[in-house]
Structure 1
Amino acid sequence: MFVRIVKMGFQPEKINEFLTNFEDNKAHIRAFEGCEFLELYRDKDNPNIFFTYSYWNTETDLENYRQSDLFKRIWSKTKPLFNTKPEAWSVDKLHSLK
């Protein structure tokens, strides 16, 4: 299992549009084959910055999602809302403490 972290910065007046799009699609993303976990975070110091954390069984599962109609539909609505280039990392989870 690995983790995908995406950092996104939005135009302040477009944040509600982003949040509505996320709300409308979060269950579909989480239900996508291979997605085991999905969370959305907002930066406390800069409210225009958001992060998604998602856990995927394999890199192929993530790539299948990124090539899917679902992703293309979500991304086409999200991309015009940015005020900075998004950043993404795929990382291996080494430890998790509860």
Structure 2
Amino acid sequence: MFVRIVKLSFEPSKIGEFLDIFNASKSLIRNFEGCEFLELYRDKEHNNVFFTYSYWKDEQHLHNYRHSDLFIEVWTETKKLFNNKPEAWSVDKLESLA
């Protein structure tokens, strides 16, 4: 399993717009071929900082998503709202409680 973690920092006045975009697209992303899990987290100290946490079958499935019309549409709208450069980590899941 392949895990992708993305840190997103928004202009405080743009948080509502981001949440609207996320809520409108989350089921489409979750149902994208190869996506096995998607959650959104919010930083406890900086309420304009969010993290997406997603599981993908493998790197190729994430690659396919990142080159899809869905990603291009969502990312084009989301990146307008940033107040800092996003950061992303691709990690392999080594252990799970399940």
TM-score class, shorter-chain normalisation, is: over 0.9
Post-superposition shift, 1:97? 1.6
Matched, 1:56 2:56: yes
Q: What stretches of structure 1 of length at least 5 have no aligned partner? A: none
Aligned-residue RMSD, C-alpha: 0.6
Which residue of 2 is the match for residue 16 of structure 1?
16
Q: Percent identity?
A: 67
- Residue-pair matches, total: 98
Match of 1:32 in 2: 32
Q: Offset at 1:92?
A: 0.3
Normalising by structure 1, we get a TM-score of 0.98
TM-score (norm 2): 0.98
In 2, the alpha carbon distance for the partners of 1:96 and 1:58 equals 17
Structure 1 runs of 4+ aligned residues shifted over 4 Å read none
Q: What is aligned with 2:43? A: 43
Please list every run of 5 or more consecutive structure 2 residues that lacks an aligned counterpart in the other structure.
Answer: none
Alignment deviations for residues 15-36 of structure 1 (CA, whole Å, 9 cap, x no partner): 0000000000000000000000
